[in-house]
Structure 1
């Protein structure tokens, strides 16, 4: 659903840019509360994983494909504010390095693909986990449904933006019908990927899933034939607290390392190898634009001359090698950029001084 340059006029693009900038400023503040010792090491990895999976277009209908948007996945794994930042980092990397999504349309893409998908999906997710049984399976089910809703929601918002600032004279009713129809199908793929990923992480490290916090059930004891909550554990003696904190700090990052390495390797394999087998059909927005004539005023991307444009490495003739190298470079650039952003936000929260040099 990456909107190219030329689809939306300059005033509307500028307005969405201002809206996106304001939302990112709010997200930076909110992320300071979300990025703790559990989420901070993983946020950059989540951005890299989303980048990798977005390269895997899957067929949804005759001549049409879809790909992950990632708002629901990021919000549930690391929190809604951090999730908006994760998807925004991905969009920035894609626009600058790979000529995917217009640079003048960056505000449109951040608004639609990062903000709308994250806000809508997390609102649906929180509502569902409040009424579903407090189990890990419920978190996975809620993830599926939240992701499913987020994609057509993004399609609706694009249609509204196009109704305000579209550059071609096309029936908005036709655009809405086509966009929502195909993105409902894409939403099924989004929901499946999101639920499988959340389910995999929650199976091995449920404490690292932001959306699963506070869902554990208290131990029940049977007293005189009735079930009652077990008493909370007694607090640790004051003298033991510093030692306990020291042990936790000493083991904090090594405990995250296996999952981080596994996630990075998975992202590299998906982007570097599996992406070669992705569907070559146009994605939902691309197909609708072609069918409805929205693309008549599309403009050449400012980064079209990038050595990584169109997810291929310039001057590498072998298509498999060229695409694989581009994917690996993209994952590496995204994890570095994302990690730098999130560690900087984390330092602002903790007040740790930045290292010189």
Structure 2
């Protein structure tokens, strides 16, 4: 048995529209392209699910929504299972694109597939509850929140997502996140992840407020911040030995590609730990989205992504090593099992 445990973290997984249509005529695992074997080799896999998994419901019309994303669970759940997805965060701006019925279907389908779904629930309390995923004898706790689409927020008796602003000047933000951390740590997890869908699209750098929240979370026990929403990857910062992935970009979708920002290029982020939760390394495998599927990046795309993340991470003092196609970020920290401090 290996002493190293490998956890994969991806950008947005959007399985609707053209992806859903393409999947009607190809195998369920085709959406993972030539990356399937690498995904299956991981001990755990964590994604942001950027769509509903349902054939029911109606497009959200209470407020203006330019896009509505959903996928047929008949193929989508087997596809997630084939890749070995353990946790699909739902706190994002597409979980209610087809209303409460479709969100509840999504929760039910993920539950039957034994896939945790933090950030979404039938009540506010359920949406804010941490998920606990047990992998290789380790308890991985995940809290999930978004500052997008407040109209999708769950309340005391209405299904929805876990919503907050990400600003430490805002007392409710500190209270909401602090309570989620306390709940997660009450089970003494070996690893604690914050999956945050924050900020607008196509932004290359995190605002100061997000950096402050990222630092605050790490200082209170989070081992890795898994940020997403921008559709493009941002820089990586190491704070107190723990990685803050400010944005991990996209992983699967059918989106139009910006020729400068290249939202079709990114990474599979692999966190390596020992079995007690000590962080060892972060590995970045370049990927690119083609034909509504994710693939290992070709040489041109891989060079671009490696150069780009070095450039974006340099202001944080983060420097990478290179090992064949991948970038390596050694980590020397025992983060797992720390307790929270007062807010």
TM-score (normalizing by structure 2): 0.26
Quick check: which one's strand share is greater? 2
Please say which structure displays the higher CA radius of gyration.
1
Quick check: which one's helix share is greater? 1
TM-score (normalizing by structure 1): 0.26
Q: Which has the higher contact order (CA 8 A, sep 6+)?
A: 1
